A = this chain, B = another copy of it.
Amino acid sequence: MSAHGGARSASSVAPQPFFRSRWVPAPAHVRELAPDAGLPAGFRAAGVAAGLKASGDPDVGLLVCDAPEPVSAARFSATSAPAAPVLVSRERCRLNALRVVLANAGCANAATGRRGLDDAAKTQGAAATAAGVDPSEVVLASTGAISHYLPVDAVVKGILQARSQLRENGDAEFQRAIQTTDAFEKRANLEVGLASGPVRLSAQCKGAGMISPRFATMLCFLQTDAALAAETADLLLGVCVKRSFDRASVDGQLSTNDTAVLMCSGSSGVSVAAESEDELLLGEALDALLRQLAILMVADGEGARRIARVAVRGGHPETVEVAARAVANSPLVKAALHGGDPNWGRIVQAVGGALAGGGLGHPPLAVDVAIEGMQVCSAGAAIPYDEQALAQAVRREEVEYEIGLPGEGAETEVFFSDLSHEYVTINADYTT
């Protein structure tokens, strides 16, 4: 397993620091707490085994905010084939005032039509009753097999069981209940030093496309005891998701179920005003947290030997975006990354192919390529470089590609994983 991965059991080996990528330095005002530090004030969680996973592992998670006036924000998959929990959450929830998360693994409740919506609504109602809130305050999230119907009775039983186990340090069990084939947990408990005082920020996150027998659904639940206006929560979550989960690709496959939810209890008594220094500080913490989580998702999977960052600069926002995605999703670039092969011709090919349309009269694209700071291609043509140094550099755990397109002013990045034998094994040899 890549050194990016954590241990399956945090107690068996010395825990790795959460901020472990060179691409995400921990902000100075952010302190990592112990894995068992518990949730921010105002939150309780639980995870129970309700029989959705054949393994008997926890598969129904419940997370409750007990604060009188919680504030929240949410983001969902942009797919045009959203799963039932996404549709129900988007259309029936007060997304800026959520009190409860009901999450399950083992069934995505996707491609299930009208019945899937009814099933989702039933579980939403059951969770609302169990927590004593309105159904519109319960956000739903599911991950697992597409095209299977949700076992509603089992989920409802799980909800009742989970209610009796809700506790402030239930985040570890909640985390287990949202994982599918994640090789390591993606969970953090942070303390953030704001100007107005310290606040807590926690995350439970799931996503492991490289080894998922289905596909790369990502779920992320975030809690803070800071007090935020709904607009501030929405702004911070929106900006940080764009810079993290939106910039990660395991296999270029957008899920039917992606969901990210930020909940703010306000229980710390520390208020974060809009456009204040504290908003900036909390935003920096949330940004680092989500970027590291995105990188952990990319790094997950027994097959993920290496991860990479491709940064593209040029004159047009759309062009740099298309080029970066093309490199990140090219099976040839990803296979070379896996093999530790400095085969940069594939980068030129991927960029050229993605920006296709250069017909007669169009000059060839003047693309620059640098790998780990070593320039190998200038204006579309090979230049001399230290082949031995490059060969060494691409065998490290993290590899950085920088691509220059004509023009200036636009810049983007995408984090991606390699293409491994295990990806094929798990996704080919698994049968529904």
Q: How many residues of A contact B (CB 8 A)?
A: 81
Q: Which residues of B contact A330 (CB under 8 A)?
A: 252-253
Q: Which residues of B contact A110 (CB under 8 A)?
A: 345, 348-349
State which residues 395-432 of A face B: CB under 8 Å: 418-421, 423-425, 427-432
A374 near B: Cβ within 8 Å? no
Tallying the copies of this chain within the complex gives 2
Residue of B nearest to A116 (CB): B381
A80, B364: Cβ atoms closer than 8 Å: yes
> How far is it, in angstroms, between the C-alpha of A358 and the C-alpha of B79 when the chains are bound?
6
A428, B419: Cβ atoms closer than 8 Å: yes
Min CB distance A306 to B, Å, is 10
A345, B79: Cβ atoms closer than 8 Å: no
Q: Which residues of B contact A115 (CB under 8 A)?
A: 381
> How far is it, in angstroms, between the C-alpha of A425 and the C-alpha of B425 when the chains are bound?
13
Provide the A312-355 mask, 1 if CB < 8 A to any CB of B, else 0.
Answer: 00000000000000000011100110111111111011111111
B251, A111: Cβ atoms closer than 8 Å: no
Which one of B111, B252, B353, B391 contacts A253 once the chains associate, using CB atoms below 8 Å? B353
Residue of B nearest to A79 (CB): B352
Top 3 A-B pairs, shortest CB-CB distance = A113-B381, A81-B352, A146-B345
By a beta-carbon cutoff of 8 Å, the part of chain A in contact with chain B is 77-82, 87, 90-91, 108, 110-116, 145-149, 214-215, 251-256, 330-332, 335-336, 338-346, 348-360, 362, 364-365, 367, 376-377, 379-382, 391, 418-421, 423-425, 427-432
